[in-house]
Amino acid sequence: MTRLTILTAALVALSAPLHAAGNHDGGHDGEMAIGQPGDPSQVDRTVEVSMVETEDAEMLFEPRDLSFEAGETVRFVITNTGMLEHEFVLDTMEEIAEHKEMMERFPEMEHDDPNALRLEPGESGEIVWTFADDGTFEYACLIPGHYESGMHGPLVVN
């Protein structure tokens, strides 16, 4: 390799974390395997989800598992009743694992995806989602250490 090739490769490698550490934006604009952003005027039902920590240092979602019908549009009303910042992300198990790995490298990454919401203690927010294909998916908090503390659950679409 020439010096120019090595220098170029080094600069590209060093600049990658700068781009990745920014805003996780635009990755999920359209339809995903789990579905797509829903029309708020077409909601079939509302599901309330709480994010909480226990005295035993578990971090949990309540309810602990979710089930929906293909084609159903759901309004998730998500409330962080805990003492720490948490997030709610719904996706395929593979995408959750990939996103979790990225969050471990860039824990301050901001999200701007329709399938994710990050909340400070006491905050509430909403996601409106239309589920597409049948399957078993997952919802999780991907802030480093939270998934391992129990903050994830199955999401089944029948």
In tens digits, the chain (158 residues) has pLDDT values of: 444 333 333 333 333 333 333 334 444 455 789 999 999 999 999 999 999 999 998 999 999 999 999 999 999 999 999 999 999 999 999 999 999 999 899 887 777 799 999 999 999 999 999 999 899 999 999 999 999 999 999 999 99
Q: Which residues have CB under 8 Å from 125's CB, separation 6+?
A: 78, 117, 119
Query: What CATH number does domain 3-157 carry, 1.10.10.10, 2.30.30.90, 3.40.50.12780, 2.60.40.420?
Result: 2.60.40.420
pLDDT of residue 109: 78
pLDDT of residue 30: 56
